[in-house]
Structure 1
Amino acid sequence: MRTSPALRRKLISVAAVSAALLTGTALPAVAAPAQDTAALPAVPAAQTEAAPGVTAERLIVGYKSGADEATSNKAAEADAAAKGADVDFERRLGTGAALVDLGGADKGDVADVVAKYKADPSVAFVVPDRLNQPQADPNDTEYAKQWDLFETTAGMNVPGAWNTTTGSGVTVAVIDTGYVAHSDLAANIVAGYDFIADTAVSVDGNGRDNNPADPGDWYNANECGSGIPASTSSWHGTHVAGTIAAVTNNGKGIAGIAHGAKISPLRVLGKCGGYDSDIIDAITWASGGTVSGVPANTNVAKVINMSLGGDGACSTATQSAINAAVGRGTTVVVASGNDNENVANHNPGNCNNVISVAATNRAGAKASYSNFGSQVDIAAPGGETRTATANGILSTLNSGTKTPVGENYAYYQGTSMATPHVAGLAALLKSANPALTPAQIESAIKTNARALPGACSGGCGAGLADAAKTVAAVSGTGGGTTGAVFTNTTATAVPDNAPAIESSISVTGRTGNAPAALQVGVNITHPYVGDLVIDLVAPDGTAYRLKSSSSDSTDNIDTTYTVDASSETANGTWKLRVQDTAAQDAGTLNSWKLTF
């Protein structure tokens, strides 16, 4: 059964762990092959006991030996009534503890009830009665072969992200060879487009149309250049798409990283490759731009995957298309290339405004073929089949050597295989926090990467992408209370045309860094908001500009700003700095808040 992200955050992968911490009992066995449980987000101590501020529907109260309430239900019932008007004794547990219903109390009332129980000398403990759910690996039959998702050494720690998000609500455009029908992917495919204009490349006998089906990209010896041997059809786009969003928990095949997301297949690669002009139009259309002669896109993508490339610099034309796509809010993820060379010489891995991905092998070192260099942003599993076939990346494919025959699964290697791992992660992040910009998504992925367990001579970016850690960072599940809000409601005057005033919030109980999309809510009364300059000041003194002065003559501010604060330690004193920069009008900072 699937549950909403909000409910999953209440549940308990967290609860199972914290219950074990409380009781000292063993955790239920989980069948994940070689899962790195140490790499999953830590459970804060504050979540192992009911505490003031914790929302709960019921409490489990243990009384000390000798107390009347420890054995008498009538006494426990009277004690519950004394703790709050709506508090009721429900029943006695097998351990002797009392189950107490809170009657739908709000957070403040819960805090009061808990405080009373804690202060009672006859009470040994009070803990929340939390909701648990069955925990299991996906039932996909080939999941155990997907080392790239879960293995401790070099897997991307993907299962740890699924309790929070599976990518729902996000479309990923796969700009590639198109899509060959596969039952383990079909439910997650939405309309795409065939952008190949040249019939010599298209193979399907026509130019551009609304059918992105992959007819095969095979070619004969010397057909793609002198000395180039013959090649069978690759079904490359389908392999890439499966890694991102293969249907999961369907009792067959593989699991997709963002299996709640949708794939829009855009066909740009055919026989011998594909032209920049077609790729540029696909980038534009995928991100919601207009392409002459092509109907408007009804499945605008928030993530683009380009597991393709060529030699040379990033052209001005390609860079322009990428910049426009990012400006429309689409994250562009590209392969660094398979030449074992510096990515500076290979596009689009050397373009700006992209997430350029290097490939690692099963040991967590740079794969022998992968490009490298300072323009690489991140590394992800790309596999290396020369050491063993099973060390490649398993995904959806077709058994046809020229035209489609029957669906199957196969291991591939390449930066083409690493790239969809990161595109899938980007979809998870966008689903978990829709407010994230492409720059914030890139920053979050890089900030939360872990060190490569193996070597990478020449540079593989920030390290190995870590799905669970990154999703936790952007969704507020990485530490402390999920979705914690810290507020300052003390009104502070903002004097007319004067030095800045500051208001402080002390943040405690968080783990690690602030999120990549820290929410800053600001409420200011002022008759001419254009006069105001507003900055958020992190505990280390770094200032983030929320609002500059302008000619805006409207009055009052009641809005929420988003800040990429992922490089800042969450705990500490944060400040809101407000300055009125022009004469005639004064105002008041009524309140502000930080939502982690």
Structure 2
Amino acid sequence: MNHRMPRILFYKKSSATVLLAIAMQTAVGNPSTPADSTYAGTTDEIIVRYRTASDMNALLGNINKKNITSIQSAAIRHGRKVELLETNNSGRIIWKLDRFVFNADAEILAAEIAKNDRRILSAEPNYRMLAPQAITPNDQYWPSQWNMQNSLVGINAPAAWELSTGAGIVVAIPDTGYRPHSDFVANIITGMDFLHYDTEGRDGQIGWPNIKLSTGYVVWQDRDRDATDMGDYFLQRNSSWHGTRIAGIIGSQANNGNGIAGGAYDAKILPLRISGLDNASDKHLEDAITWAVGGNVSSGKWIAGYATNYILEKNRTPARVINISLRRSGTCSVGVQKAITEARNAGAVVVVSAGNDNQDASGFSPANCSGVITVAALDSLGARASYSNYGSIVDIAAPGGTITNNNVRDAIVTPFNDGSTTPGNDNYNYAQGTSLAAPHVAAVAALMLSANPSLSPDQVEAILKATSHRFVGSCAGCGAGMLDAYSAVLAAKGMFIRPFTATSTGSNLDTSRPSLNVTINVEQSDIGKTGNLYVQAVTKNGSSYFLMPNGWVASEISSPLPYRITTLGTTDIPALTGGQLPFQIPGLKIYAGYGLNEYDFLANRRHGLLYSFAETSPTTCSLTVAPSVIAKGAEYSYTVAGTNLPNNAQAFWYGTKNGIADANGDAQGNIQAFPTAYRFSNQSGQNGKYVRYLQIRNSIGEPVCTTNAVSTEMLAAPTCTLSSSPAVVPAGRPYSYAINGANLPPNSEAYVFGTKNGIPDVSGAFFATLVALPADYAYTNQPGWAGTYHRYMEIRQGGVTICKTNTVSNTLQ
């Protein structure tokens, strides 16, 4: 895809303005790996239009004389070869490249061709239009599918769908079976019901078709090919329609104006019914996995005194992906492990959910089986969902959603059935769980295998981990990162750029250095391919400037000018020449690296910091909190201040709760001005002692300042009481009120309410600041005060009522 940058104007050396001159060169070596010709963002043709037909004919004459034209020379400088493809009488020539290149590279070459020959009216890539894919699906619930969208937490499925939709891949789902929901029934292929008995399966089917003993007895009460879910209700437990949810997340059809869009909407779903009235068992799971990949599954019965063994009909549509959204406590059974190993040997990727116990996943099967991809659940903010299991055996995290106080905005919408026990009508429903996180990964695995069927299970797992995004919320024990469908499919197609290291010949960049040689060391791997080289200058405010190769004037173009590097390994690039340094700005940083395009270079951090100018006006930042002890329900605020901090800075939280890390780069958001205050309130379950500090980053995510740490204490639910003595107070005699309680913060305030002789006489008048408890307040009965009084207090912090006392009565004579 082509991502254009805003036009940046630079001028020649004679101008009073600083010259931007960067000498860059392509490395010498073999042509880089061809870009995928099925990707819409590539082309292998350049269209050149001449001002007149005679100008074109002059060029053709040179070609006939076997002279190298300026167009061919330009292509050679870019590591490409071109040959004449066709001409017409209007002055149009189409040149064919020796390989497909990304549109951005073709635009660069076209710009150079047009620049070098005044006879050329225009030069541009022959952009290709492939079968259209909807960037924004028209499915009814798509606006609610944050989990599939391109966001901080969403998996960016629409971009992946431009490359693959899962066609040709079978995904097996051992679960409760499926309801023939209209949103995905077209993708269902005939599976297997592994439940032995009608009382367990509730489907009225009593045997395997056409199987008889030698005595003529029918093999009753055994497995059949109908995996329809008839309900797993039991006593007060409603039917879960669990398998229908999983099938919908993976295989719901997209762009049909109905329901949701599945992650691999052209994949086929192989339903395997292994869970019913009595839930699933290791035996059923073992057999289902084996059968899913085309293995032999035998069954034996003892009927009417005769023993029989038979082999189930083989699965003729073997699965390449198996999603298991089930779990039990304990170790992985020998049989299930054997089935998983055999499935992997057959080329199947096995994806399992980590479990919903908020415990270490190592204590649960099949998450702890060898060779599986174990998936934790993310909430909509990118943190580990409160229910999700975690630990060292977790491989990756994907959206699982949360439902808070019946608010489904942050949950996962799936196909469902409105029957509480037996099947009813199709509908849609919101849910949460690692059961829903796993099929996101299974769907992406299907996209990857559709794009590159030769990938092994180990390669799929490696790619999923290598292309995952770093966590944007607190997610300890969540694996390598957050699922990224687009990058994973790019990698599967050999178009992903691996990370690299960048080093240089000096320790600091200054005006006395005659030149800067940058050494880029690209990490090689089976999925690493070359991309475009970018050199980027970034100011402290995050303003970004792409530095142009020597000889180009930026005002002549509107897109950056990367050069393609044609070899992996170490490359020396003479980047800056003394006397022609691009900027003299304190705090400026210079980056270099690779990317498929500028977006890939920036968003996925495929670069390294080379040099930075010394900061003559250092940044400072500080954090304060008030109050530091907060009652339950009360508000408090953090204030971040500082000097020389960038515009549009971003703030990220770090810290501990009761000495245990609980915030690790959680995003607070952009800061438009300093100081800025963030207001919060002490909610249920937050009581504890906290330490917090902020890391301030510029607009491209680079840290520029870290604040001091501040401490707060969130109190549990408060209690408060009011007493008065004596109950009857003679004229001129003393009496008192006493306030006591627990979990009341220092310097909270008491406000009095009440009546005199049944008539309200005070309503929220300030009474006292509670410096310490208990607090006694003495009075003397004065003339004119006679009457019967009822009094209670509201205790407030920051204007918020945190506790209300009992009512006391006394009579003043």
TM-score (norm 1): 0.66
Structure 2 counterpart of 1:235, from 227, 233, 241: 241
How far the C-alpha of 1:90 sits from its partner, in A, is 4.5
Aligned partners of 2:117 and 2:487: how far apart in 1? 39
Correspondent of 1:75 among 50, 54, 65:
54
Aligned with residue 209 of structure 1, among 196, 207, 224: 224
SS in 1 for 2:453: coil
Q: Which residue of 2 aligns with 1:167?
A: 166
Confirm or deny that 1:443 pairs with 2:449: no
Using the TM superposition, give the Cα deviation of residue 78 of structure 1 relative to its aligned residue in structure 2, in angstroms.
2.1
Q: Distance in 2 between matches of 1:509 and 1:163?
A: 31
The 5-angstrom pairing of residues 43-442 of structure 1 reads 56-61=44-49, 69-70=50-51, 73-82=52-61, 84=63, 86=84, 90=88, 99-102=92-95, 120=117, 122-123=119-120, 126-132=123-129, 136-205=135-204, 206=206, 207-220=222-235, 230-292=236-298, 293-386=311-404, 388-442=407-461
Equivalent pair of 1:479/1:512 in contact (CA under 8 Å): no
Matches within 5 A, 1:378-527: 378-386=396-404, 388-457=407-476, 459-478=477-496, 514-516=525-527
Shift of 1:186: 1.0
Quote the offset at 1:203 in angstroms.
Answer: 2.6
Query: Residue by residue, what CA displacement relative to the aligned partner does 1:215-254 show, whole Å, maximum 9, x if unpaired?
Result: 011110xxxxxxxxx2111111011011011111112111
Question: Structure 1 CA distance, aligned partners of 2:137 and 2:148?
Answer: 12
Which amino acid in structure 2 is aligned with residue 268 of structure 1?
I
**Which digits, 9 at most, give the CA deviation of each residue in 1:168-209, with x for residues without a partner?**
110000110001111110111111000112444323244310
| Counterpart-to-counterpart distance in 1, 2:483 and 2:334 | 29
Distance 1:118 1:509, change over 3 A: farther
Q: Is the 8 A contact 2:524 2:568 kept in 1?
A: no
Are the counterparts in 1 of residues 192 and 273 from structure 2 also a CA contact under 8 Å?
yes
Contact 2:351 2:373 in 1 (8 A): yes
* 8 Å contact from structure 1 (residues 445, 470) kept in 2: yes
Deviations 1:243-280 (A, max 9, x none): 01111111211101111110000000101311110110
Note the residue ranges of structure 1 that are not aligned, 5 or more in a row: 1-13, 25-43, 48-53, 62-68, 93-97, 221-229, 481-507, 519-536, 541-568, 572-596
Cα distance in 2 for residues equivalent to 1:277 and 1:107 = 53
**Rounded Cα–Cα distance in structure 1 between residues aligned with 2:6 and 2:380:** 37
Cα distance in 1 for partners of 2:464, 2:296 equals: 30
Question: Aligned to 2:123, what secondary structure does the other structure show?
Answer: strand
Tell me how far 1:56 sits from its aligned partner.
3.1
In the alignment, residue 172 of structure 1 is paired with which amino acid?
Answer: V
Q: Which has the higher contact order (CA 8 A, sep 6+)?
A: 1
Distance 1:81 1:57 in 2: 18
1:347 maps to a residue whose letter is S
Rate the CA distance shift 1:58–1:142 in 2: closer, same or farther, 3 A: same
* Separation (CA, whole Å) in 1 of partners of 2:254 and 2:484: 20
- Distance, in Å, in 2 between the alignment partners of 1:380 and 1:475 is 22
Query: Is the 1:335–1:349 Cα contact (8 Å) retained in structure 2?
Result: yes
Larger helix share, 1 or 2: 1
Deviation, 1:443, is 0.6
Output the amino acid matched with 2:240. Answer: S
Secondary structure, aligned partner of 1:148:
coil
Provide the secondary structure at the position in 1 that maps to 2:225: coil
User: Which piece of structure 1 moves more, 79-88 or 464-473?
Assistant: 79-88
Q: 1:423 Cα shift? A: 0.4
Count of residues paired in the alignment: 430
CA distance in 2, matches of 1:267, 1:413: 22
Task: Indicate the percent of aligned positions where both proteins have the same amino acid.
Answer: 39
Q: Secondary structure at the match of 1:149?
A: coil
Structure 1 pair 239–56 and aligned structure 2 pair: CA distance change class (3 A): same
- Name the CA distance, whole Å, in 2 between partners of 1:512 and 1:164: 25
Runs of 4+ in 1 over 6 A off after TM superposition: 113-118, 508-513
| 2-structure distance, mates of 1:259, 1:169 | 11
Take 2:62 and 2:295, find their aligned partners in 1: how far apart are those partners? Answer: 61
Q: 3-state DSSP class of the match of 2:409?
A: helix
Residue aligned with 2:362, SS: helix
Residue segments in structure 2 that go unaligned for 5+ positions in a row: 9-31, 36-41, 65-83, 101-105, 207-221, 299-310, 499-518, 530-566, 571-604, 608-813
Q: Tell me how far apart the structure 2 counterparts of residues 442 and 316 of structure 1 sit (CA, whole Å).
A: 23
The letter of the residue matching 1:56 is D
- Asked if the contact 1:474/1:515 (under 8 Å) is kept, the reply is no
CA contact (8 A) 1:364 1:452 kept: yes
Following superposition, the deviation at residue 153 of structure 1 comes to 2.1
